[in-house]
Amino acid sequence: MIATEVAVACRNVTKDFGEGDTRVRVLQGIDVEVALGEMTLLVGPSGCGKTTLISIIAGLLDVSGGEVDVLGERISQMSGSKKTRFRLKNVGFVFQQYNLLPALTAAENAAVPLIVAGMARSKAVVRAKEVLTHVGLGSRLNALPTQLSGGQQQRVAIARAIVHEPRLLVCDEPTAALDAKSGQTVLELLKETACRPDRAVIVVTHDNRVFHFADRMITMADGRIESVSASNTEGGE
Partner 1 sequence: MTWIALKMLTGDRAKYFGIIFGVTFASLLIAHQISIFVSIMARTTSQIRDVREPDIWVMDPKVRYLDEVFSLSEMDLQRVRGVTGVEWAVKMFKGTVRARLAGGNDPTSKGDFRSVVLMGLDDASLIGAPRELLPIPGVECSLSDLKKPDSVIIDEAGYSYLFPGQPHRIGQTLEINDRRALLVGICKAGSPFQSMPIVYTRYSQAMNFAPPERRLLSFILVQSTPGSSPEKVCELIAEQTDLQALTRQQFMDKTIGFYLTSTGIPVNFGITVLLGFVVGVAIAGQTFYLFTIENLKQFGALKAMGVSNWRIVGMILTQACVVGVIGYCLRMGLAAAFFESTKNSIALAGFFMRWQVMVGTAAAVIVIVILSSLLSIRKVLVLEPAEVFR
Site of interaction with partner 1 (CB under 8 A): 51, 54-55, 58, 60-61, 81, 84-89, 91, 93, 95-97, 99, 101-104, 108, 112-113, 115-117, 121, 172
CB 99, min distance to partner 1, A: 4
How far is the CA of 166 from the CAs of 36, 114, 181, 206, 229, in angstroms? 12, 11, 27, 25, 25
Residue nearer to partner 1 on the CB measure, 51 or 219:
51
CB 54, min distance to partner 1, A: 7
CB 60, min distance to partner 1, A: 4
Residue nearer to partner 1 on the CB measure, 104 or 126:
104
Three-state SS letters, 134-195 = HCCCCCCCCCCHHHCCHHHHHHHHHHHHHCCCCCEEEEECCCCCCCHHHHHHHHHHHHHHHC
CB 180, min distance to partner 1, A: 23
Residue nearer to partner 1 on the CB measure, 3 or 56:
56
Residue nearer to partner 1 on the CB measure, 61 or 195:
61
| C-alpha to C-alpha distance for 206 and 202, rounded to whole angstroms | 13
